[in-house]
Amino acid sequence: MKRRLFLQGALSLPWLAGCLSRSEGGLQGGIVGANFWLGHRLRQPLPRAGTPRRVDVLIAGGGVAGLAAAWRLRQAGVENFELLELESEVGGNSRAAHYSESAAPWAAHYLPVPTREATVVRRLLSEMGLLRGGRLEEAELCHSNEERVFVLGRWEEGIFPKAGASSDDFRQLREFEEHIRNWQKWRDAKGRKAFAIPVAWSSPEPEVRALDQENMADYLTRHGWTSPRLRWYVEYGCRDDYGCSLQNTSAWAGLHYFASRDGGGFEPKDMQFVWPEGNHRLVQHLASGLGDRVRTGRLVTRIEASGKRWVVEACDREGRMASWSAAGVIFALPTFLRPYLLKEPVRPAFSYAPWTVCNLVLERLPESVAAAGMALSWDNVIYDSPGLGYVVATHQTQSHLQGPSVWTYYRPWAELEPARARQRMLAADWSEVCQQVFAELGPVHPDLREVCRRLEVMQLGHAMVRPSPGFLWSSERREAALPQPGLYYAHSDLSGLSIFEEASYQGVRAAQELLAERGRKGEDFLRE
């Protein structure tokens, strides 16, 4: 009984948090989304459910991997499945907020023009009409100006902070860029790239794999790249994509960030798709037509073999248990949940970076957007600052620099051990987070507080898998993806990088494994 109440409490919290809007000095908002402690509740023994519902396939987890798996199954004509999602909406890190001013991302906010190897993403984009006959839909690519950085009191174009940089800083930057270009050109005997997206297409040559043993900080030092600006710039990339510091990122992953995105044959090479609601646009496409096969508000609590089938138990927001009996299960949840759900041993190699994401709803743009240098861009970065800056949701939809907008602020906790960072995040209440956000953005936009009507906070405890040294090329990572009869694993953490391309790749891979076991091999979406 006690456990049950506990669980009820845990499940009702996210919705409660969403409703419990607060108001302070005219500013409204609150902490929204998943409760931070929820995963930890799974450590408790749980009650059993009644007679299971029979389905052909059950997908546990409605993030990008789970949705991509569902999408692949439907392409193969498998329609008898259900998908269980903890949150009230599918999408995982690609969910969105919808305000009257604009939609805005809750985390993932862009998709680089895919590499040739990212066949799943290419197929998806052509279904959406964004990549047709070798042409990209220009209107959906990030409009000018893409990014700016605030350094020494002024905004300037790009991310590398130029103001105040010495000639040595620039020399080191040029060397680093040249080094990256060389890695981009590198091919092994079989013609494979050193750093590919999906990661699975990267060369396994020892020369490249060895980079995974070293951390990015040491790698930079070893090459004589000591410039604080260059190191900040490289670390910005690691924090942006992995939520990790230079020390906690393997050199392989650090180089992958810079070398892997080659524009897939399109020029310029660094274009990306951007939408007001972020990657939720892609999620909406993946999820369209799923209908009531999606069950939201379900916390999967147990997955067990039962004869040739699998029984999956889940609990809803009222604490009621339900169960499913499925011939095949696609486990599209993060790997760290497997000890709780599958009674597997803990896999310590998998560690996750926590993130704080905030959406600032603005009545109008603050006047300070026009001050000091380069005008407002899509991505606005502040040099030497704990957060990553903010992206402007209305960048693609407005042709003026006034009026209402939504800014999404990102704060990885790269400087702390993940467990400590989670503690810190948990301890901060809404008004404390607001204070931190305004303290960080205040020097840049002193009038931001005046125009901010609402500030919503999402605390993502296990936002991204961390590509720590040794993880990406470890046997632990490879083994975690191996299926059992009727049970297939799909999550971006199996790739070691938390990006849309990897999540969708893993989802399609798992679905194809399931189809192959049923003798329905069909077309391989993972190859051209």
Partner 1 sequence: MENNEPPGSSGVLLISVFLVATCGLVYELIAGALASYLLGDSVLQFSTIIGDYLFAMGVGSYLAQFVGRRQPAVAFARLQNSIAFIGGFSAAAMHVAYSYSGGFRLVLYLLVFVVGLLVGVEIPLLMTILKRNYSFRELVSQVLALDYLGALLASILFPMLLIPYLGLIRTSFCCGLVNVAVAWIFMSVFRLRVPLLRLETAVVGGLLLLGLAGSERITRWAEEGLYPDPIVLSRTTQYQRLVVTRKHQEVRLYLNGNLQFSSRDEYRYHEALVHTPLSCLEKPRRVLILGGGDGLAAREVLRYPEVEQVLLVDLDPAMTSLFRDHQFLNRLNQHSLSDKRLRILNADAFVWVSEPREAPFDAILVDFPDPSNYAVGKLYTKTFYQRLHPLLAPGGALSVQCTSPLFARRSYWCIVETIRAAGWQVSPYHLYVPSFGEWGFTLATREAPPHPEARRLPRDLRYLDAAALPDMFLFPADMAALPSPVNRLFDQVLVRYYEQDWRSIVDS
CA dihedral (204, 205, 209, 211) positive or negative: negative
CA distance 137 to 123: 14
Interface size with partner 1, residues (CB under 8 A): 35
352-362/405-412 β-pairing: antiparallel
Whichever of 178 and 267 has its CB closer to partner 1, that residue is 267
132-151 residues in contact with partner 1 (CB under 8 A) are 138-139, 141-146
Q: Minimum distance between the CB of residue 153 and partner 1, rounded to whole angstroms?
A: 3
Q: Minimum distance between the CB of residue 101 and partner 1, rounded to whole angstroms?
A: 12
CA dihedral (235, 120, 185, 261) positive or negative: negative
257-316 residues in contact with partner 1 (CB under 8 A) are 268, 271
Q: Minimum distance between the CB of residue 141 and partner 1, rounded to whole angstroms?
A: 4
Q: Minimum distance between the CB of residue 30 and partner 1, rounded to whole angstroms?
A: 21
Nearest to 387 by CA among 445, 453, 329: 445
Say whether residue 399 binds partner 1 (CB under 8 A): yes
Contact range with partner 1 by CB under 8 A, out of 3-11, 34-42, 152-160, 229-237: 152-160
Judge contact between 358 and 29, C-beta under 8 A. Answer: no
Q: What are the backbone dihedrals phi and psi of residue 425, each rounded to the nearest 5 degrees, phi first?
A: -60, -40
For 348-451, strand residue ranges (E) read 352-362, 379-382, 389-392, 405-412
Judge contact between 264 and 131, C-beta under 8 A. Answer: no
Contact string (CB under 8 A) for partner 1, positions 44-83, x = contact: ----------------------------------------
Nearest to 67 by CA among 500, 521, 499, 504: 504
Whichever of 365 and 481 has its CB closer to partner 1, that residue is 365
CA distance 444 to 352: 31
Residue owning tokens 């060389």: 182
Residue 4, helix vs strand vs coil: helix
Say whether residue 100 binds partner 1 (CB under 8 A): no
Whichever of 284 and 396 has its CB closer to partner 1, that residue is 396
Contact range with partner 1 by CB under 8 A, out of 67-75, 117-125, 392-400, 426-434: 392-400
How remote is the C-alpha of 137 from its chain's centroid? Answer: 24
Render 450-515 in DSSP notation, one character per residue: HHEEEEEEEEEEEEEE---TTTTT-HHHHHHT--BTTEEE--GGGTTS-SHHHHHHHHHHHHHHHH
CA distance 278 to 380: 16
CA distance 437 to 422: 17
Whichever of 93 and 436 has its CB closer to partner 1, that residue is 436
Judge contact between 136 and 266, C-beta under 8 A. Answer: yes
- Provide CB contacts within 8 A for 6, sequence distance 6+: 41, 44
Contact range with partner 1 by CB under 8 A, out of 253-261, 339-347, 354-362, 398-406: 398-406
Q: Minimum distance between the CB of residue 271 and partner 1, rounded to whole angstroms?
A: 6
- Of 5, 16, 20, 152, the residue at the interface with partner 1 (CB under 8 A) is 152
Residue owning tokens 């993946």: 286
Residues counted in the chain: 528
What DSSP designation does 193 have?
B
Say whether residue 398 binds partner 1 (CB under 8 A): yes
Whichever of 153 and 485 has its CB closer to partner 1, that residue is 153
| Tokens describing residue 18 | 């969403």
Judge contact between 156 and 374, C-beta under 8 A. Answer: yes
Q: Minimum distance between the CB of residue 157 and partner 1, rounded to whole angstroms?
A: 10
Q: Minimum distance between the CB of residue 232 and partner 1, rounded to whole angstroms?
A: 18
Contact range with partner 1 by CB under 8 A, out of 235-243, 395-403, 417-425, 426-434: 395-403
Contact range with partner 1 by CB under 8 A, out of 172-180, 295-303, 350-358, 391-399: 391-399
Q: Minimum distance between the CB of residue 115 and partner 1, rounded to whole angstroms?
A: 18
Q: Minimum distance between the CB of residue 363 and partner 1, rounded to whole angstroms?
A: 8
437-496 residues in contact with partner 1 (CB under 8 A) are 442-443, 446-447, 449-450
Rg value, the chain, Cα: 23
Whichever of 47 and 446 has its CB closer to partner 1, that residue is 446
Q: Minimum distance between the CB of residue 442 and partner 1, rounded to whole angstroms?
A: 6
- Greatest CA separation found in the chain? 71
Whichever of 95 and 148 has its CB closer to partner 1, that residue is 148
Q: Determine which helix (DSSP H) or strand (DSSP E) holds 523, and give its type and residue range.
A: none
Whichever of 305 and 374 has its CB closer to partner 1, that residue is 374
Whichever of 339 and 446 has its CB closer to partner 1, that residue is 446
361-380 residues in contact with partner 1 (CB under 8 A) are 364, 367, 371-373, 375-377
User: Which positions touch partner 1 (CB under 8 A)?
Assistant: 138-139, 141-146, 152-154, 268, 271, 364, 367, 371-373, 375-377, 397-404, 442-443, 446-447, 449-450
